Amino acid sequence: MTQKALAEKLVRTYGTRDPFGIAKAMGFIIIKTPLKGIRGFYQEARRCRIIYLRADMPEQEQKWVCAHELGHALQHKGLNRIFMDNCTQMVTSRYEKEADQFAIDLLYSDEDLRDLAEYSVATVAQILGVKYELAEYRMNSLAL
37 and 53 belong to one structural domain? yes
pTM value?
Answer: 0.86
94 and 124 belong to one structural domain? no
| Chain segment 114-127, per-residue pLDDT in tens | 999 999 999 999 99
How far is 139 from 117, CA to CA, in rounded Å?
7
Q: Packing angle between helix 59-75 and helix 93-107, nearest 10 degrees?
A: 120
pLDDT given for residue 76 in this prediction:
73
88 and 119 belong to one structural domain? no
Quick check: 15 pLDDT over 80? yes
Q: How many folded domains does the chain comprise?
A: 2
| Chain segment 90-110, per-residue pLDDT in tens | 445 778 899 999 999 999 999
Which CATH number covers residue 43?
Answer: 1.10.10.2910
Sign for the CA dihedral angle at 53, 92, 99, 50 comes to negative
118 and 100 belong to one structural domain? no
9 and 73 belong to one structural domain? yes
| Chain segment 22-67, per-residue pLDDT in tens | 999 999 999 999 999 899 998 888 888 999 999 999 999 999 999 9
- Which structural domain range is residue 131 located in? 109-144
